[in-house]
Structure 1
Amino acid sequence: MARARLNSGNGITDELPKTKINKTSLRNVKKLLRYLRPYRLKFILGLFFLFLSSISLLAFPALMGGMVDAAQGKQGLAFIPASIKVIGLIAFAILFFQSFVSFFRIRLFVEVAEKTLADIRRDTYFNLITLPMDFFANRRVGELNSRLSADLSQIQDTMTTTFAEMIRQSILLVGGVSFLFIVSVKLTLLNLSILPVIVIIAVFFGKFIRNLSRKAQDKLAESNTIVQETLQGISNVKAFVNEAYEANRYQNSLKAVVQLALRGASYRGLFASFILFCIFGAVVSVIWYGSSLIATGELSVGNLTTYIISSLFVAGSMGSFPELYANVQKAVGSTERVIELLEEKRENVSIIPEENEIKQRIKGDLAFHHVQFAYPSRSEITVLKDISFSAHAGEKIAIVGPSGTGKSTLASLILGFYQPQEGDILFDGKKAESYRLTDIRNQVAIVPQDVLLFGGSIRENIAYGKLEADAEEVIAAAKRANAHDFIMGFPEGYDTLVGERGVKLSGGQRQRIAIARALLKDPAILILDEATSSLDSESERLVQNALEELMKNRTSIIIAHRLSTIREANKIIVIEKGRVIECGTHSELIQRETGLYRYLSHLQQEKVNG
C-alpha cells in the first residue's frame, strides 16, 4: 500500500511505492516504451543535445584551472591556452553553446513526454471505460483515479526530468573521473581509497534512517485516521459522550509519533554530522595532499583548482543517483499498474460512436430461461437460482420480494453488465449472445433509485440519453417527464448547472430528469429499479405520472418496493432467496392466503394505516 507522508502544506499525500527493478518490471517498461515510437526521432535528437550539453559542461573545470595558471604566467594543461582573455572568450562561447543546446534538449524532451503521456492517458482512460462492471465492483474509484493521475504523473516526471538527469549525471561522473585521472593520478587514487568506506556506511545508515522515517509516517497516518474516523462519526462520539476517550486516543497516537520523530532526528543528526565530516575531510585531504604536490612541483595551482572543481562535479553526480534511482523505481511501479490497467480484458464495445449504432433491432420480447448467477467476486454465493419468466413486447412485468433476493441483479443481467453462469437470457426469442452488447444497451434504459447526474447543465444531463438530440427534443422529453415546469423555475432554465457547482436538485427532480433522459433514448425495454421508493408522497405522484408516460408502448420491468405502484402490471413475479416462488397478476396473487405477495402487501398496508 502507498504510505502517507506529510507534504509541504498542511495535508497528507500518498507516496508512490517503489518497485524492485527486475526482468518482469523491465518487460512492462518496454511495453510502455512503444508509445515513444511516433516521436522517436525527436527523442533521439533530444538525447544528442543532452550529450552535447553534458560534455560541454566538463570543459569548465579545465578552463577555470587554466585561467588560474595563466594569471601566474604559467601553462596549465597542454590543451588549455595560456591567455586569460582567450580562456575567458572560450568559456563564454561554450556557455552560449550549452545554453543553446539545453533549450532544444528541454523543449524536445518535454514535447516527447507530453505527447507520449497524452497517448498513454487516452488509451488508459479509453480502456478503463470499456471494462466490465465486475472490474469496477472490485476496485475503488480513488485507486483508479490515482492510476490516471499520480501514476502517470510519476512516469511523466521520469521521462521529462529523471531520465535526462540520469544520463547527464552518468556523463558527468564518467567524464569527471576520467578527467581527475588526467589531472592527477595520485590525488584521484587518494579519493578512491576512502570513497568505498564512505559509500558503504552511508548506504547502510541511510537505509536504517529511512526505515525509521517510514515508521514515523505510518504512526502519523494512524493519528490522521483517528481524526478522520472521529469527525466522520462525530454524532456517535457526542451521543455516547466519548470526546474524552477520542482525545486521549489521539494524544497517545501523537506521543508515539513524537517519540519516533525524535529518535529519527537523533540518527539523522549523527548521519548528517558523519557526511559533513566526510565531505569536508575529503576536501581538506585533497587540498593538503595537493599542496604538498604543488610544493614538490608535481602539480600547479591551476591544476589543483581544476581537480577540486571536477571533484565537486563528480561528488554532485554521485550524490544525485540515489534519489534518481528511487524515482525510477517509483516510475517502474507506476508502469506496472498502468500496464495492468491497459491489459485488462475489455467488453465488446467501441469508443467510436459510429461503431456503436444499432445494427439489430429489438421489438421488446424478453425471457429468462433457467438462469443461475453468482457475482464473480463472490462466486460461492448464488444470487439467482433457476430463474425463469417471460415478458411480451409492451407488457409491464413487476419484480417484487424482500431485500437482498436478487431483484436488482436481474437488471444488471438484462443490461449485460454480467453474464449468467447457467441458463439463457432471450431478446425476441434469440439468445443475448447473438446480439452485440451495444445493440442491447442502446435499446434498454434504466431509471434507478439513486439517480446520478453529471456536473454539467440540465440540458446536457437529459441529452445524455441521445447525444445528437436538439433543444426541441430535450424540451419535449422534459415536458413528458413532468420536469419542464421546475426546470423553467430556475433563472437559467435548461442551462442551469447541477451538482457541486450548481443547484442541488431534490430526489423527485433528479428522478424526472432521469425519466426525461430515458424518454429521449426511446428504448424497447425499460427497467425501473425502485424508482419511487425514496420519494415523499407529492414527489412520488409527479414521478409516477412521468413513469406512466415513459412505460407507454414499451416492455417495462418494474422492480418495486412499494407494491401499490404495480397493481396494474400484466404480471407480477415474486422472488425469495434467489428463486421465483410466485407469478401472476395482482388479483391472483392477493387471493393466495399463504403467499408471500399477499403477506408483503398486507404488511405495507398496515404501515400506511398505522
Structure 2
Amino acid sequence: MVSVLRGNPAQSLSLVWRFISPYRWRVGAALLALLVTAGITLSMGQGIRLLVDQGFMTRSTELLNQSIGLFLLLTLGLAVGTFVRFYLVSWIGERVVADVRKAVFEHLIDLHPGFYEHNRGSEIQSRLTADTALLQSVVGSSLSMFLRSALMVIGGIVLLFVTNPRLTSIVVVSLPLVLAPILIFGRRVRRLSRLNQDRVADVGSYVAETLGQIKTVQAYNHQAQDRQRFSGTVEQAFDIARRHILQRAWLITLVIVLVLGAVAVMLRVGGMDVIEGRITHGELAAFVFYALVVGTSFGTISEVIGELQRAAGAAQRIAELLQARSEIVAPAPQVQALPGRVSGRLALDNVGFSYPSRPEHPVLKGLSLEIEAGETLALVGPSGAGKSTLFDLLLRFYDPQQGEIRIEGVPVRQLNLHELRRSFAIVAQTPALFFGSVADNIRYGRPEATDEQVEAAARMAHAHEFIQQMPEGYRTHLGEGGLGLSGGQRQRLAIARALLVDAPILLLDEATSALDAQSEHLIQQALPGLMQGRTTLVIAHRLSTVQSADRIAVLDQGQLVAVGTHRELIASNPLYARLASLQFNVEG
C-alpha cells in the first residue's frame, strides 16, 4: 500500500481540472456541442407534437411533409453536433491521461529511493496504468454522458412544465424518491470502488513479483503455494467487486422502477386528459417523449455516477502519488556549485546513518574518512558492515542523520543532485541493464555519445568481441535485465557504460565477486583502464583488487576500525587478517 497522504474529493476534482484546464478552449467547444445536441434532442419533443397534431390529426400531406422536414433537419443537426462532441471529448480524455501519466512518471523518477522501501513498484505501476485508464474512460466518455443527461433532465423538466404543469407535478413529486437512493448508494459505491481498486492493484503486484522471480519460484517448487496465495488475493478482489456491483445494480434498479413507475402514473392521468379533451394527442405524445427523456437520463446518471465515483477514487490514488515529496532536495537559497573539473577529493566527517525503515538499527556510526583525489580506496569488512550503504550516501540516495559528506570541500547537501551525481560512475555487483539495444545500455549515462565513442568504451572494457558475435552487434536488443547475457558480459557492459561517462569518481561494488575465473580475468584486465586518473572506491572481496589499492578501509558493524595498506593491516588488524585468511585465501 502506498504510504502517502490520503486524498479527498476536492483534491480529486482539483487534480482533474489541473490537467484539463490547458485545453479549456476544446472543453468549451465540447460543452457548446453538448448544449446544442441536448437542445436539439429536447426540440424533437415539439417536433413530435407538431407531427401528431398538424400531420397525423389534420390528415394534411403538406403539413406532414413540413413536420417530417423539420424532424430531418433536427436529426442532421444532432448528428453533426454529436460528431463534434464525441471527437472533442474523446480527444480531451486521451490527452489528459497522457499528460497525467507523464506528470506522475516525471514525479516518481525523482523521488528518493527511501520512498520505494515503503511502496511496491507493482502497485505504483497499477496506479500509473489502470487508474489512469479509468480516468480516460470517465473524462473521455462518462463525464460527457453525465453532463448531457443532467442537461436533459433539467431541460426535460422545464419543457414538461411548459407542456402540461399538472402532469409534471407527478414527475416532480417522484424526484426525491429517485435522488435519495442515488445519494445513499452512491456513497457506498465510492467506498467500495476505492477498495476494489486497491485489491486489483494487489493482484497486479503479486503477479509482477512472482513472475519476475519465476526461476526461484520453480527452483523451490513453490508453485502450489503461489497458486493458493494468488487465488486468495483474486478472491478478495472478486468479493469487493461483487459487493460493488451489487450496490450499483440496486441503484440502477431502484431508479428504473421509480422513474418508469412515475411515467406509468403520468400516462394514466394524461390518457384520461386526452379522452376528456383537456389536452391534444400531440401534447400527450410530446409529454411522454419528455418524460422518457427525463427517465432515461436519470437512468444514465445512476449508471454513470458509479463510474464517476470510481474515477474519483482513481484520481485520489493518482493525487497521492503526486503529493509524495522527495526527502532528498538541495536547499534552493544555499545551492553551491562544484568546480568545472572535479578532482575527486572526498571527505566523511562523523557520519551516522540508519535506514528510515529501520531507525533503531544504525548502519554507520561516527564514520570519518578522507579520500584524496586519484586515490584507490578498498572497503572491506563482513556482510552488513555498511560498505554498500556508504555508496548510497555518497550518491545521496539518503542523507545521514548525523555528520557530513563533502566533495571538493562542498557539503553534498548543498549541491544540486544532478551536479553531484554526474561526478560518479558506478559498477554494481549485479549491474542494471535495461530493455533496449546494447549501444543504448552503454550510452545510458551519456545519451549524446557517438557510435564511435560507444565502441571505444566497449573495446576498453573487453566487451567488443562478444558484442560483435551477437546477431545485430551493437544494435542487438537485450531482454529485460540483460536476459540472455552471462554475468561477465553484463559486468563488461557496465564497465563500458562507466568508461563512457568518464566521471572523476568511480564506485565499484564487488564487481567481480560472482564471476567465474575467465570472466574475472577479463574484468580485471578492463579495470585498470577504468580506474586510471580517477578516485576509486571499491568494495572488494578479491585479493588482487585489495593489493592494488592505495589504502584499505576496514569496516565492522558500521564503524571504521582500521585504515592502511594490505601488508600493514595483515600485521596490525585481527579482523582484516581473519578476512584475508577466509576471503582472500592467504595466511596472516
TM range (shorter): 0.7 to 0.9
Which residue of the other structure, out of 31, 38, 50, is the alignment partner of 1:47?
A: 31
Aligned partner of residue 418 in structure 1, secondary structure: coil
Contact 1:230 1:237 in 2 (8 A): no
* Letter aligned with residue 56 of structure 1: I
Which residue of the other structure, out of 51, 57, 68, is the alignment partner of 1:73?
A: 57
Contact 1:449 1:529 in 2 (8 A): yes
Give CA-to-partner distance per residue, 1:512-555, whole Å, 9 cap, x none. Answer: 00000111111211100111122122212211221222112211
Shift of 1:386: 0.6
Q: Matched residues in 2 for 1:119 and 1:34: separation?
A: 10
> Are 1:482 and 2:466 an aligned pair?
no
Q: Matched residues in 2 for 1:277 and 1:495: separation?
A: 64
Q: Matched residues in 1 for 2:343 and 2:275: separation?
A: 102
Shift of 1:342: 3.7
Shift of 1:248: 9.4
> Are 1:597 and 2:581 an aligned pair?
no
Q: Matched residues in 1 for 2:325 and 2:247: separation?
A: 49
Shift of 1:595: 1.2
* Letter aligned with residue 57 of structure 1: T
Contact 2:553 2:563 in 1 (8 A): yes
C-alpha distance 111-138 of structure 1, shift in aligned 2 (>3 A): same
Contact 2:457 2:496 in 1 (8 A): yes
What pairs up with 1:499-538 in 2 under 5 angstroms? 499-500=479-480, 504-538=484-518
C-alpha distance 409-495 of structure 1, shift in aligned 2 (>3 A): same
Contact 2:34 2:82 in 1 (8 A): yes
1:583 aligns with: 563
Aligned partner of residue 515 in structure 1, secondary structure: helix
1:106 aligns with: 86
* Letter aligned with residue 575 of structure 2: L
Contact 2:488 2:519 in 1 (8 A): yes
What pairs up with 1:388-403 in 2 under 5 angstroms? 388-403=368-383
What pairs up with 1:192-231 in 2 under 5 angstroms? 192-194=172-174, 196-197=176-177, 200=180
Give CA-to-partner distance per residue, 1:176-214, whole Å, 9 cap, x none. Answer: 112222223333223344554466467768988999999
Give the count of matched residue pairs.
575
- Which stretches in structure 2 are left out of the alignment for 5+ residues? 331-335
Contact 1:475 1:484 in 2 (8 A): yes
> Are 1:151 and 2:135 an aligned pair?
no
C-alpha distance 253-106 of structure 1, shift in aligned 2 (>3 A): closer
Contact 2:194 2:313 in 1 (8 A): no
Aligned partner of residue 350 in structure 2, secondary structure: strand
Q: Matched residues in 2 for 1:33 and 1:588: separation?
A: 67
2:535 aligns with: 555
Contact 1:402 1:576 in 2 (8 A): yes
Shift of 1:97: 1.6
Contact 1:496 1:502 in 2 (8 A): no
* Letter aligned with residue 50 of structure 2: G
Q: Matched residues in 2 for 1:250 and 1:471: separation?
A: 46
Which residue of the other structure, out of 262, 266, 273, is the alignment partner of 1:293?
A: 273
Aligned partner of residue 477 in structure 2, secondary structure: coil
User: Which shifted more, 168-177 or 215-224?
Assistant: 215-224
Contact 1:42 1:108 in 2 (8 A): yes
What pairs up with 1:392-431 in 2 under 5 angstroms? 392-431=372-411
2:333 aligns with: none
Which residue of the other structure, out of 131, 135, 141, is the alignment partner of 2:115?
A: 135
Q: Matched residues in 2 for 1:446 and 1:552: separation?
A: 15
C-alpha distance 112-483 of structure 1, shift in aligned 2 (>3 A): same
1:16 aligns with: none
1:174 aligns with: 154
Q: Matched residues in 1 for 2:466 and 2:38: separation?
A: 67
C-alpha distance 100-444 of structure 1, shift in aligned 2 (>3 A): same
What pairs up with 1:155-554 in 2 under 5 angstroms? 155-194=135-174, 196-197=176-177, 200=180, 281-345=261-325, 360-433=340-413, 435-500=415-480, 504-554=484-534
Contact 2:186 2:305 in 1 (8 A): no
Q: Matched residues in 1 for 2:16 and 2:239: separation?
A: 43
What pairs up with 1:564-575 in 2 under 5 angstroms? 565-575=545-555
Give TM-score, length-normalised by structure 2. Answer: 0.84
* Letter aligned with residue 402 of structure 1: P
Give TM-score, length-normalised by structure 1. Answer: 0.81
Shift of 1:455: 1.1
Shift of 1:368: 1.3
Aligned partner of residue 526 in structure 2, secondary structure: helix
